[in-house]
Structure 1
């Protein structure tokens, strides 16, 4: 790496603007936190979020829990 190359956003938390079907990076980083569980979600693995609440979810179950919907029997 030379002095003109950007340093990677290693283990920093990103800030995103969640839209319908896509998100925009406001502050670069490697992950966001699940709004329900608090676990880190790598940006490459982010699949679930809520536009109105502007929060990410680690799994479909976490999103359903936020919506107050029980999963399973």
Structure 2
């Protein structure tokens, strides 16, 4: 069975105020929890570490760990 781009994980470049799609897809994976994050729900990421996060709590915890 062939998968459409909507079934694939997107590859993004995360910037300080947005992201750019490098490879089309419907979702990304949280770098900490492994949770699927649909692109329309993606709100938290690190431009410095090029990672996506599922929740603000996960993002805060990860950023504190990396200091």
Higher RCO, Cα 8 Å, sep 6+ = 2
Greater share of helix:
2
Tell me the residue number matched to 1:10: 6
TM, length-normalised to structure 2: 0.86
C-alpha distance in structure 2 between counterparts of 1:62 and 1:32, whole Å: 15
Pairwise CA distance, 1:36 = 0.7
Larger Rg: 1
Aligned length: 63
Cα distance per residue 1:11-60 (max 9 Å; x no partner): 10000000011100000000000011011100000000001100000000
Runs of 4+ in 1 over 6 A off after TM superposition: none
Distance of 2:24 and 2:9 partners within structure 1: 8
Structure 2 residue runs without a partner (length 5+): none
The alignment's C-alpha RMSD in Å is 1.6
Point out where structure 1 has 5 or more consecutive residues left out of the alignment: 1-7
